[in-house]
Amino acid sequence: MNDRRTVFKTLRDLGIRLTPQRILILDILRKGNAHMGVEEVHAKARTRFPYIDIATVYRTLHLMKKIDVVTEVAIGERLHFELTHPDRKHHHMVCTCCGKAFNLAPEYLERFGEQIHRDFSFEPDVRNFTIKGKCSLCADKFEKSDSIL
């Protein structure tokens, strides 16, 4: 799975160097129990490694995303990331009203993706897929005071 050791091996096998910065960032994501913002990761990293630059955090997170070690989650406006757990994969439904995120079992999108592939031979990447919308609570609120703007 994506425990420390396995990830390190994955990186080595791909010729990606194991720098202290990268190890630190991965450890921070592992300890953070949910998706984290870039600034959040950077702040935590600085407490142990004061000279780490935000650019390094961005570069590392994007690299890890490319090799599927972390997953990008579209929460709010800014980028958020979390470690990819193959055994508890899930997608997200984010309420654009209150910002809360709900997990979604992977089958929903997988079935959907397979259908797209069958019909168009387009291979959708459902890994980083976030559904935006309104949660039931906010939908209720809206019905009463429904200002569109």
Partner DNA sequence: TTAGTATATGCAATTGTTCGCAACAGAATA
Partner DNA sequence: TATTCTGTTGCGAACAATTGCATATACTAA
DSSP-derived secondary structure letter, 2: -
The contact mask relative to a second copy for 1-30 (x = CB under 8 A, - = no) is -------------x----------------
Angle at the Cα of 32 from the Cα atoms of 16 and 48, rounded to 5 degrees: 65
Compute the distance between CA of residue 65 and CA of residue 70 in angstroms, rounded to an integer.
5
As measured in angstroms, the least distance from the Cβ of 128 to DNA is 13
In this structure, the number of other CB atoms found within 10 A of the CB of residue 1 comes to: 10
Whose tokens are 């129990």? That residue is 33
As measured in angstroms, the least distance from the Cβ of 93 to a second copy is 5
- Regarding 148 and contact with DNA (CB under 7 A), the answer is no
Binder of residue 93, out of a second copy, DNA, none (CB less than 5 to 8 A by kind): a second copy
Compute the distance between CA of residue 11 and CA of residue 56 in angstroms, rounded to an integer.
17
- Regarding 76 and contact with a second copy (CB under 8 A), the answer is no
Q: Choose which of 31, 62, 66, 132 interacts with DNA (CB under 7 A).
A: 62
- Regarding 54 and contact with DNA (CB under 7 A), the answer is yes
The two structure tokens encoding residue 48: 């142990």
The two structure tokens encoding residue 66: 């490319």
Binding site for a second copy (CB under 8 A): 14, 66-67, 93, 95-96, 102, 104, 108, 112, 115-116, 120-125, 128, 131-136, 139, 148-149
